Structure 1
Amino acid sequence: MNRFVVVGVDPSTRSRAAVDWAVDEAFRRRADLRLVHARYGGTGPAEAQRLDAEWARVAARHPGLTVAAELVDGPPRETLVGAAAGAELLVVGDRGSGGFPELLVGSTSLYAAAHAPCPVVVVHHEPVTEGGVAVGVEGREAEGPVLAYAFEAALRQSLPLAVLHAWSYPPLLGPGHEVPPVYEEGHIAAEHERLLAEVLAGWRERFPDVAVTTSVVRSGAAKELVAASADQRLVVVGRHGRPNGPLGRLGSTSQAVIQHAQCPVAVVPL
Structure 2
Amino acid sequence: MTSKPIVVAVGAGESEALLDFSTREAMLSGSPLHLVHVVRMPPTLPSSLAAAYQTAQEYGAEVLRQAVAGARARVGSAVVVTSELVTTGAPAAVLAGRSADARMVVLQHRHLTGTKRLTSASTTSGVAARAHAPVVSVPEAWRPPDGAEPGPVVVGVHDPARSREIMRAGFTLARERGADLRIVHAWWLANGYDGIVVDDAMREAEKERFGQEVAPDLDALRAEHPGVNTVVSVYHAPAALALDDVAEGAQLLVLGRRNPTLAVGSHLGSVVRTVLRQSPVPVVVVEPSAAMTASGGERRDTAAR
Q: Which bracket does the TM-score occupy, shorter chain normalised?
A: 0.7 to 0.9
Aligned equivalents of 1:172, 1:9: Cα separation in 2: 44
Structure 1 residues 125-144: aligned runs within 5 Å: 125-127=140-142, 129=145, 130-144=150-164
The one-letter code of the counterpart of 1:58 is A
Counting matched residue pairs gives 262
Structure 2 match to 1:66: 80
1:104–1:260 CA contact under 8 A, matched in 2: no
1:76 corresponds in structure 2 to 91
Maintained 8 Å contact 1:95/1:109: no
Cα distance 1:247–1:170, how it changes in 2: closer, same or farther (>3 A)? closer
Q: TM-score normalized by structure 2? A: 0.77
Which whole-Å CA distance do the structure 2 matches of 1:191 and 1:107 have between them? Answer: 37
- The Cα of 1:35 is off from its aligned counterpart by 0.5
TM-superposed deviation, 1:262: 1.1
CA deviations 1:77-98 (Å, max 9, x no partner) are 2121122221110001113999
1:230-269 alignment runs, 5 A limit: 230-241=248-259, 243-245=261-263, 247-269=265-287
Q: 2:69 aligns with which of 50, 56, 65?
A: 56
One-letter amino acid of the structure 2 residue matched with residue 92 of structure 1: L
1:88 aligned onto 2:103? yes
Deviations 1:20-42 (Å, cap 9, x if unpaired)?
A: 21111122111111100001224
C-alpha distance in 1 between matches for 2:5 and 2:126: 21
Q: Secondary structure at the match of 1:163?
A: strand
Report the CA distance shift for 1:165/1:56 in structure 2 as closer, same or farther (over 3 A): same
- SS, match of residue 40 in structure 1: coil
Which residue does 2:122 correspond to in 1? Answer: 107
Deviations 1:21-80 (A, max 9, x none): 111112211111110000122443232122112212211211121011111113212121
Paired residue for 1:44, among 57, 62, 65? 57
Q: Offset at 1:211?
A: 1.4
Root mean square deviation, CA, Å: 2.9
Task: Tell me the alpha carbon deviations over residues 145-196 of structure 1, each in whole angstroms, 9 at most, x when there is no partner.
Answer: 10110000000010111111112359699xxxxxx9x994133333233334
| Long gaps (5+) in structure 2 | 42-52, 289-305
Contact 2:110/2:140 (CA < 8 Å) preserved in 1?
no
Q: Secondary structure at the match of 2:101?
A: coil
**Equivalent residues of 1:27, 1:65 under 8 A apart:** yes
Q: Deviations over 1:187-227 (max 9, x none)?
A: 33332333344442222222221111221122222221121
Q: Distance in 1 between matches of 2:236 and 2:265?
A: 27
Partner SS for 2:285: strand
Is contact 1:10-1:97 (8 Å) kept? no
Cα deviation for residue 117 of structure 1 reads 1.2
Letter in 1 for 2:24: D
Q: Which residue does 1:210 correspond to in 2?
A: 228
Structure 2 contact 95–127 (Cα < 8 Å) conserved: yes
Cα drift, residue 268 of structure 1: 0.2
> Measured at CA, do residues 37 and 188 of structure 1 come closer, stay the same or move farther in structure 2, by a change above 3 Å?
closer
Partner SS, residue 117 of structure 1: coil
Contact preservation (8 Å) 2:57, 2:87: no
Unaligned regions of 5+ residues in structure 1, if any? Answer: 174-179
Match of 1:7 in 2: 8
TM-score when normalising by structure 1: 0.86
Q: Which amino acid aligns with 2:6?
A: V
Moved more, 29-38 or 46-55: 46-55
Tell me which residue corresponds to 2:46: none
1:105/1:52 CA distance change after superposition, 3 Å: closer
Amino acid at match of 1:156: E
